[in-house]
Chains A and B, each alone.
Chain A
Amino acid sequence: MSAPRPAGRFSRVLTNVMPLGTGVAMILIWYAICLAMSPEQRFLLPAPHEVARAFIEKGPALWNAALNTGEGALLGFGSAVALSFIMALVLSLSPLVRASFYPYLMILQMTPIIVMAPILILWVGPGLKSVTIITFLICFFPMVVNTTQGLISTDRNLVDYFRMCRATKLQEVFLLRVPAALPYFFTGLRIAGTLATIGAIVGDVFAGNSAGGQGGLGFLTIIYSAQFQIGALFATAAVSCLLGFIFVAAVIALSWLALHKWHESYRQSDH
């Protein structure tokens, strides 16, 4: 092992500084575009400081909406993770089981949310329940597909070893197939994590309930766009992004906790 070379340290500093640099550059370009616009066009693109002002003015509404959307996203995401895991275990039993269920999973995935929403409203009413189910529907499919793929991709040699040891079917599933499927599970989790917030906001637009402060970020989007509050729309977009980032960051952290010690994808090129 050699001491870190100066060039290596420099490139590490660079990887930390560069994202900040591009951020600053983009804000400067943003201002430049705003200045270049004619006064009658100005309302189309608020300057960064105007977005910041809207952010502060609408703070309580944004916070409340983010909490509502976050709740729907978390409930839908969580139930999708739990149920997809059970579903994947069932699907991994045999090709016959997979062949009998996959077409219907596909149908579930293909049906647009905008069509599902009115049905859900009729069944469970608008609000958190509907938003949760819509988020669930969006997150479920990528989770099932990835986890099932992982459960059936176990190294043949390891399966043979378990059989030679006369391991029971339960031991084979929980000591071998499930841990071997973890990298695939986390791939599904990353996809579902990015979709969860989007699902909850879309769900809020089509099947949300705005009464009594129950509205989410989707509801705010409808209101602000109807009122031409462009700055507030930008602030809502920023909050939506932030919420999505929280989900993705949590998933990445979980994935790191579960895999970094043993999985090849976390191997450091340090030898």
Chain B
Amino acid sequence: MRQDGPLPIVAFTDVVKRYGDGPLILDNISFAAQRGDFITLIGPSGCGKSTVLKLISGLNPVSSGQIVVDGAVPSGAVEKLSFVFQEPTLLPWRTVERNVELPLRLQGADPASRFEVARRSLALVGLSDRMGYYPRQLSGGQKMRVSIARALSVSPRILLLDEPFGALDEMTRDHLNEELLAIRQQLAWTAFFVTHSVAEAVFLSNRILVMSASPGRIHTEVRVDLPYPRTEETRQSPSYQALVGQVSKMLRSVERLRP
């Protein structure tokens, strides 16, 4: 295969996924993500958005087709990946600091470097003063920040975010969106983000993949050419609001496609 331009960091070629003899979950998914892309997957429930993330993580195999992650099969690229879920999934008996260093502990890193990294990660999400706290002492937004700091502690090349802010109120969500982009200015990872919120998708991403359901297909790709860094002013701009309207309309037409 001839390759134009830089090698993509994640490439899906004709990926099909079904579980056992069950229905087709993903049908013929092909896309290529470049380094530094912030790609949001949006679509009706059951369109297989989260399955795409699971396939990138290498936790599940494809049924047919091919996935290349950083020049390797997904399961070979696991140290380069990090996850953030809708639930913060913190261990309640570990302090904030010890939750953040946990993935490094699991990888067998030495304690001194682990805690150094944990401190830096927590500084990035603005929780340096909460290091010794236990999760039950934190608010929902703070727990999610810790979860993000934990994901960042392994210096990932690729960040997989599965509706991380879905359970938070709108104010907190907007705030964390801005923080996430600010951190991305400092550490260049490629992000795959799953959400139900069009506004969030447009605000964060440079590319939006609108998916349709049963079976999951990529319906359209929308490029978001709003300049980074994006701030509260971005949300007020006419071009942002036009894009939100455009993607919402697409999502509605995709919903109508449902059998």
Write the residues of chain A forming the contact surface with B, with a CB cutoff of 8 angstroms: 155, 157-158, 160-167, 171, 175-176, 179-180, 182, 261-264, 267
Contact = CB atoms under 8 A, between A and B. Distances in A.
Contacts of A267: 136
Given A161-B83, A165-B106, A262 B92 contact: yes
A179 B85 CA distance: 22
A66 B89 CA distance: 48
B105 interface: yes
Given A164-B57, A175-B105, A262-B135, A157 B89 contact: yes
B240 interface: no
A19 B140 CA distance: 40
B93 A262 contact: yes
B91 A158 contact: yes
Given A161-B89, A163-B59, 8 more contacts: A157-B89, A158-B91, A160-B89, A164-B59, A164-B83, A175-B105, A176-B91, A180-B93
22 contacts: A158-B89, A158-B91, A163-B59, A164-B57, A165-B107, A166-B78, A167-B106, A171-B106, A175-B91, A175-B105, A175-B106, A179-B93, A180-B91, A262-B92, A262-B94, A262-B135, A262-B136, A263-B92, A263-B93, A264-B92, A264-B136, A267-B136
Interface residues of B, number: 19
Contacts of B115: none
Contacts of A161: 83, 85, 89
A182 B136 contact: no
Contacts, number: 46
B148 to A, nearest CB: 14
Name the 4 nearest CB pairs between A and B, nearest first. Answer: A262-B134, A262-B93, A167-B106, A161-B89
Contacts of B59: 163-164
A169 to B, nearest CB: 12
B87 interface: yes
Interface in B82-113: 83, 85, 87, 89, 91-94, 102-103, 105-107
Given A165-B106, A167-B106, A263-B92, A157 B78 contact: no
A163 B83 CA distance: 12
Interface of B: 57, 59, 78, 83, 85, 87, 89, 91-94, 102-103, 105-107, 134-136
B159 to A, nearest CB: 13
A179 B91 contact: yes
A162 B102 CA distance: 10
Contacts of B87: 157
Contacts of A262: 92-94, 134-136
Contacts of A175: 91, 102, 105-106
Contacts of A165: 102-103, 106-107
Nearest to B132: A261
B153 to A, nearest CB: 11
Contacts of A180: 91, 93
A165 B135 CA distance: 20
Given A163-B59, A176-B91, A261 B106 contact: no
A158 B92 CA distance: 10
B167 to A, nearest CB: 13
B7 to A, nearest CB: 25
Nearest to A167: B106
A162 B106 contact: yes
Contacts of B102: 165, 175
B41 to A, nearest CB: 18
A95 to B, nearest CB: 21
Contacts of A162: 106
A267 B94 CA distance: 16
A108 B91 CA distance: 36
Nearest to A263: B92
B87 to A, nearest CB: 5
A150 to B, nearest CB: 13
Given A164-B59, A165-B106, A262-B92, A157 B136 contact: no
A155 B90 CA distance: 11
A255 to B, nearest CB: 13
A166 B106 contact: yes
Nearest to B105: A175
A179 B93 CA distance: 7
